[in-house]
Amino acid sequence: MGSATIFFWLQLPNVTKNYRTALTITGIVTLIATYHCIRIFNSWSEASTVSSKDGGDYTVQLTGSPFNDGYRYVDWLLTVPLLLIELILAMKLPQAETVSLSTKLGLASALMVALGYPGEIQEDLSVRWLWWCLSMIPFCYVVFTLTVGLAEATSMQQSSAAASLASPARYLTVFFLAHLPLCVHGQECRPGRPRGHHV
């Protein structure tokens, strides 16, 4: 991902001026993700040891240091809104609509992630469900906006080629966003999970 950041930013002079901001954001997203992947790896290395007896199966043992789940959420809190803003910028909508949609989708996606984190650190299953349900409200708003709210804007693209790219980009974004509540929900449904250990 770090290499992707370098590539994206080196390509800026080769991209039409209207799309440079979107490509700059792409590089920022991969840079943030690179940093957090390194931090997550370091946290995992401190929280566990991997060993093998006589060349057999590998086992993972907890060291007692907590694995920091917070890095994932900080990463999502920064990158998910940026990715949605990037999509809106790439669609070349009128300026007022671009600002409005970027603000709404950015804030809604940040709220979605922020509401998910309290559920991650709870021990009580019913409380985890509560926070999951709360985070699904902005999630559904984002999905609705991408699939229904932007349908007309997609059809009004300046060329049929642009429209044919914008529509799959919207649905691909929804597809990748869908892993957030599913991933988090899978973890939050495990009663008795030790807090801070998510190895």
Instruction: Please determine, for residue 183, whether its predicted confidence score (pLDDT) is greater than 70.
Output: no
Superfamily of domain 1-49+63-188 in the CATH hierarchy: Rhodopsin 7-helix transmembrane proteins (1.20.1070.10)
CA–CA separation, 134 vs 188, rounded Å?
Answer: 14
pLDDT, average across residues 174-185: 74
The pLDDT, as a whole number, for residue 61 is 87
Angstrom CA distances, 33 to 50, 83, 175, 184, stand at: 25, 12, 19, 18
pLDDT, average across residues 88-93: 88
The residue that leads in pLDDT, 195 or 19, is: 19
Q: Find the range with the poorest average confidence among 47-51, 56-60, 92-96.
A: 56-60
The pLDDT, as a whole number, for residue 68 is 86
Read off the pLDDT of residues 136-158 as tens digits, 9 standing for 90 and up.
999 999 999 998 888 877 777 66
Instruction: Please determine, for residue 169, whether its predicted confidence score (pLDDT) is greater than 90.
Output: no
Spell out the alpha helix ranges (H) of 91-199.
95-120, 125-144, 151-155, 160-177, 179-188
Instruction: Please determine, for residue 199, whether its predicted confidence score (pLDDT) is greater than 60.
Output: no
Tally of CB atoms within 10 A around 146? 23
The pLDDT, as a whole number, for residue 126 is 92
b/e map 56-69, b = 16+ CB within 10 Å: eeeeeeeeeebbbb
50 three-class SS? strand
pLDDT, average across residues 24-31: 97
The pLDDT, as a whole number, for residue 198 is 41
Instruction: For residue 32, give the H/E element and its range.
Output: helix 17-47
CA–CA separation, 40 vs 199, rounded Å?
Answer: 11
Q: How confident is the model at residue 196 (pLDDT cuts 50, 70, 90)?
A: very low
R_g of the chain, CA atoms, integer Å: 20
User: What are the residue boundaries of the structural domains of the chain, listed by start?
Assistant: 1-49+63-188
pLDDT, average across residues 22-35: 96
The pLDDT, as a whole number, for residue 84 is 95
Task: Report percent pLDDT > 70 for the chain.
Answer: 87
Token reading at 172: 């691909």
The pLDDT, as a whole number, for residue 197 is 41
C-alpha closest to that of 123 among 190, 177, 181, 74: 190
Concatenating the DSSP letter of every residue in 96-108 gives HHHHHHHHHHHHH
